[in-house]
Amino acid sequence: MLPALHRLRRPADFTVAVRRGRRAGGTRLAVHLMLPTEPPTPPAPARIGLVVGKTVGPAVVRTRVKRRLRAVASVRVRTLPPGAVLVLRATPAAADATSADLAADLDRALAKLLIPRPVTS
């Protein structure tokens, strides 16, 4: 289970993370990561939000996907930098995915997103 301290709840927080954050994705997940520009003082926890729309399937399927994503994310929240905001958006292909499939997609996306960007002048 994802601890309450690490949950993203406000719609405005989701919007900011999706619009300003970096994006990586695969067939089952789109992952948006917004890193803080400066280390927060005091250190803020990393927060994670889930988006599982009706295109994924009926309510039973969406709930199953959310439950699997929460379990996968709860393990990986400790690896995120303090103050990071991560939004996981499930695609329709996530309906048939196992927890291992979702974990592999998330790990692949996080590996891309956590690599520092080269500084361009």
pTM over 0.85: yes
- The per-residue pLDDT for 41 is 74
CATH number for the domain running over 4-113: 3.30.230.10
21-34: per-residue pLDDT in tens? 999 988 999 999 99
Domain spans, the chain: 4-113
Q: Report the mean per-residue pLDDT for the chain.
A: 91
- The per-residue pLDDT for 2 is 81
66-111: per-residue pLDDT in tens? 999 999 999 999 889 888 999 999 999 999 999 999 999 999 999 9
Q: If DSSP codes are grouped into helix, strand and coil, which group holds residue 73?
A: helix
